[in-house]
Structures are given as C-alpha cells and as structure tokens.
Chain A
Amino acid sequence: MALRAGVLHRRPRLRLGLLLGPPMLWLGVLYLGSLAALFITSLWSVDAFGGNIERIWTLDNYRDLFTIDVYRTITVRTLLIAAAVTIIDAVLAFPVALYMAKVASPRLQRILVIAVLTPLWASYLVKAYAWRGMFASGGPLDAVGLSPGYGLAATVLTLSYLWLPYMILPMYAGLERLPNSLIEASADLGAGTGTTMRRVVLPVLFPAAVAGSIFTFSLTLGDYIAVKIVGGANQMLGNVVYDSFLTGNNLPFAAAVATIPVAAMLVYLTAVRRTGALDSL
C-alpha cells in the first residue's frame, strides 16, 4: 500500500491517468461511441418485413427525410417552437432576474432564488401534466375563456414554462456579477434608464441569455412528451424518432431523424461560441 501510494505520489501522470480513465471510458468510449454508432446506423436500412437491420450503406434515410413533406414540416415546426420558447423565456426571465439581482433586498433575494429553484426540482412530467389541467376544456383557463385548447400554442406555453428557470438562473447570475456602482455611474453621467439598460446591463445580460438559450433550445428540440400531453395531434421531431424506433421498428430512420437536433445544436453552439457564453456554463 505504502509502496503504491509512493509510486502515485512520484508520478502525477499516472495519477491523472487513473483518475481520468474510468470517466473517460464511460463518457468518451461508451457515450461518444454510441453517438458515432447512431450516425453509422442512420446509414443502414431495414428489410421490408421484420424490421431487421441490414448493414448495407445507403443514404435513403436522409433522402426520405428531406424529400417527404411531412418530415420537412415537422422539422421546421420543431425549430420554430424551439425559437419561440427561447424568446418567450428570455422576455419573461429578464425582469425577474433584474429584480432579483438588483432591486430585491438580500433577504427577498434569497427567497426569490428558492422560489425560482423549487419548480426545477418538481417532476418534469408533473409540470407538463399540470398544464394539461390548466388547458382542459372545463378547466380554469377555459372557465374564463382564455384556454387555447390542446395544440401548438399550448405546447409552446408549456415548454416555455418548463424551461423558464434555466433562463432566469444564468441571467440572475450574470446580473449579480454586475457591480451596482456601474449602474449608478451611468446614471450619474447623465444616461437615462434606457441608455443604462442598453450600454451597461445588456452587454452583461446577452452572454447569460445565450447560455440559458442553449438549454431552452436544446431541451425543446429533444422533447416529445410535452407535445403528447398538451399538443393534441401535433408532432415534433422527438415523436418521429420515438415512433420510428418503437412502433415503426425502423432504427436506422429514427437515427437519421435524431441527427437533425444534433446538427441544429452544433450549428447553434458554433454560432454562440463567439459570444463567450460557453465559458459561463
């Protein structure tokens, strides 16, 4: 034991290797390997009868994806929903984050952080289910004539609700780091509320909003449960993946569909890399 510890002490590289080995085996080999395998599977096909995978290279899955109208519609719809959810969350989160970070007393600040965090712990499914109750015909929103019913509007609202804390928290953290003296200095130098917002608050807020948007965007792209619960008959990309996987018994096609959100996220991450938002994740 003493000998082994001594060896480890003298050889930091060995220590690093032993520490990093198991997590890298899990994430680097198993997880990254699975993603690579997913891509490879998307280039295979299934036989017409049993849904058995045939390991013949083909681009048919991708051709279907781009040429069949319904898949194009679903892709565009999913991206639009993700964009709408991200914008709604940013608009809702900003005043709350600003109030929490810059106006509220320290005591109220603590309470608000907890109030925002608590729903993060509540079950995702329960929250989506809660909105099913809100939108139900004969439910509370319907009773005052405000329910859009189950459909795309309900889906966007429910998803915005689900991911809202992911937007509030980075914005709050970003604004908290902004010294109050900067805001006061801006006001002292004659800037109005609008100018201070634009020139002092926004530069801090933007990277935080981008960091939050990675979650709102990615989580929306990958969601298929909320739309099942409140979306009526509408489908998103996740539904196509799940249905092709389970009921359609067509893993290669499901794999091809799943590369769309990955590609969308890669494009998005590359675009936001320049904003420096990734450093604050």
Chain B
Amino acid sequence: MTRSVLLAFSALVLLFVYAPLALVVLNSFNTSRTFEWPPPGFTTKWWSAAVDSEGARNAIVVSLEVALVATVIALVLGTMAALALQRFRFFGRDTVSLLIILPIALPGVVTGIALANAFLTMFGIELGMLTLVVSHATFCIVTVFNNAIARLRRLGGNLEEASMDLGAGTFRTFWSVTLPMMRSALLAGALLSFALSFDEIIVTTFTAGQGIQTLPIWIYQNLFRPNQAPVVNVVAAALIVLSIVPIWLSQKLAGTDESVAAAR
C-alpha cells in the first residue's frame, strides 16, 4: 500500500520534472510562431532558422571559450586544494574547505556584484573576457575539488609512499602515481565545471560587461522578443537534448555514487 503510493508520487514528481522540458522540445516543431496549444501543425523550419542564426552561433563559441579556460584554471587550483586538504593536517583546515564551497554557497548575485565591484573599484579593470573567466573559475573550483578529494580519500597514501620509498621524488610520484589514479575523477569534475560555466547566467550578467554575449546571455536577451521566440525555443530544445551527453559521460567516468557526490 505505502509502496504503491510512493511509486505513484515519485512518478508524478518525475512528470513535473520532465513535462516542461518535453514542451520546449515539442514547441520547437510547432508551426505557430506564438506556440499555440495544442500545436496546429509541425515543422522543422525553426531548426534551420536557428542553425542560420549568427547571434546564437557566436554566443556558443564565446560560451565554449569561457567554459574551457575557467575549467582549466579550476582543474589546477581544485586539484591543488584537494591534495593539500586530504594529505595534510593543519590549523585552519576546516576554514579552507568552507572557503572553497563559499562561492556556490553564497547567492549568485552576491558573488556577481562582489567580483564586479572588486574589478571596477579596487583594480580598475574594465569588465570583459578576463573578468568573466576569473569569475567563472572562482565558482568552478569547488566541483573539481569535490571530485578530487573524494577520490583521494578512497585511494589513501600507500601507493605514493611506496613510490617515494622506491626513490621517486615528489613530482615524479605525483606524475606517475597520483595523477593516473585521479584521472577519471578529474575528468568528471572538469565536465561538471564545464557544464556549470557554460550554463551560468547570474554571475555572468554582472561580470561580462556589455560587449560579451555568452549563450545564456543571448537566450536571455532574445527571450522577450516575439519575433525571435521560435529560434530561442529551438536553442533551448537543443540544449535540453545535449544535456544527456554530460550525464552519460559522467556515468561512464565515475559511476552513480560519485556523480551523486559531485552534483552536490
């Protein structure tokens, strides 16, 4: 009895989760420019219009660039922080781990305006590509860190000690022993970081300045324009379909348990 109620409720929640996404995909084929419901007919003309949209194409390139650079920075800093926190005991260790999650624990507007204010009033830097990438890297570090530290915790230090005993130095041990064992966790973290950056809009609106249009910014700016609505809808539908790729990859890389941990 309880079981079937739970099952029915879970099914309803999943319906609640997927119905809006299905609507976007369905509407991308809707012949009606204003998304009449039920759709009067189906067409693929919006998809070809979207492929030809130069604004969307440029925005995708910008988003890919930002996500790539931010992820590389996050990979380096997140791995270093994870090694420091997992392999050493030191005063202030808890504060450091709190500091790493702070950029995602604090509301997005706070991180956004704090960084924008620092760039503008403290450093006197114009908002642009540099400030955007720095901001994205700041909140991406935690995703790499979480994956890396979970893996390090499981590995323990025995193999590294063995490597050192056999005469390998610090760098040699890291390069030949630690890094290969961390590889899949780092890839999963990088993937999450990439997706996080690619998708981010709130911090972006504060730190990108006027000239730079990432894909979320492009969608947001065209969202309220009726004549752009079908193209925006196609881009949204494409993003929904594409979001299956990272989840599939991360399942391959890490297995269910670690991807649960990573998403938190």
Residues of chain A touching chain B, judged by Cβ–Cβ distance below 8 Å, are 1-2, 5-6, 8-9, 12, 15-16, 19-20, 22-24, 26-28, 30-35, 37-38, 41, 53, 92, 95-96, 98-100, 103, 110, 112-127, 129-134, 136, 138-140, 142-143, 161, 164-166, 169-170, 172-173, 193, 214, 218-219, 221-225, 229, 237-238, 241-242, 245, 251, 254-255, 258, 261-262, 265, 269, 281
Contacts and interface: CB of A to CB of B under 8 A. Distances in A.
Contacts of A161: 16-17, 20
10 contacts: A8-B169, A20-B96, A34-B115, A123-B243, A126-B236, A138-B36, A222-B106, A222-B109, A223-B108, A269-B105
A23 B80 contact: yes
Interface stretch (B42-50, B150-158, B182-190, B244-252): B244-252
Interface string B136-151: 0110010000000000
Interface of B: 2-3, 5-7, 9-10, 13-14, 16-21, 23-24, 27, 34-38, 76-78, 80-81, 83-84, 88, 90, 96, 99-103, 105-111, 113-118, 120-122, 134, 137-138, 141, 164, 169-172, 195, 198-202, 205-206, 216, 219-220, 223, 232-233, 236, 239-240, 243-244, 246-247, 251, 256, 259-261, 263-264
Contacts of A34: 114-115, 117-118, 122
Contacts of B83: 19
Contacts, number: 274
B19 A134 contact: yes
Contact of B202 (A139, A223, A229, A251): A223
Contacts of A124: 199-201, 216
Given A95-B10, A113-B256, A222-B202, A251 B264 contact: no
A262 B110 contact: yes
B121 A53 contact: yes
B37 to A, nearest CB: 5
Contacts of B172: 5
A136 B106 contact: no
A103 B4 CA distance: 10
Nearest to A122: B243
Contact of B35 (A5, A38, A139): A139
Contact of A95 (B9, B164, B199, B232): B9
Nearest to B17: A119
B157 to A, nearest CB: 12
Given A16-B88, A20-B96, A38 B169 contact: no
B20 A130 contact: yes
Nearest to A125: B216
Given A140-B37, A225-B220, A169 B264 contact: yes
A5 B113 contact: no
Contacts of B18: 119
Interface of B is mostly: helix
B117 A38 contact: yes
Contact of B264 (A37, A103, A140, A170): A170
Most buried by A among B118, B198, B216, B246: B118
Contact of B260 (A129, A138, A173): A173
A225 B5 CA distance: 35
A132 B21 CA distance: 11
Contacts of A118: 243-244, 247
A120 B263 contact: yes
A129 B224 CA distance: 10
B106 A26 contact: no
* Complex A-B, nearest 3 residue pairs according to Cβ-Cβ distance, in ascending order: A222-B107, A5-B169, A130-B20
Most buried by B among A37, A123, A242: A123
Contacts of A265: 105-107
Nearest to B200: A124
Nearest to B7: A99
B245 to A, nearest CB: 8
Contacts of B80: 19-20, 22-23
Given A222-B108, A238-B109, A169 B244 contact: no
A125 B220 contact: yes
Given A8-B169, A22-B77, A165 B263 contact: yes
B120 to A, nearest CB: 7
B20 A131 contact: yes
Contacts of A30: 118, 134, 138
Contact of B206 (A138, A170, A245): A245
Contacts of A24: 96, 99
A107 to B, nearest CB: 11
Contacts of B117: 34, 37-38, 41, 251, 255
Contacts of A238: 107-109, 202
A219 B107 contact: yes
B175 to A, nearest CB: 11
Contact of B6 (A98, A241, A255): A98
A34 B135 CA distance: 11
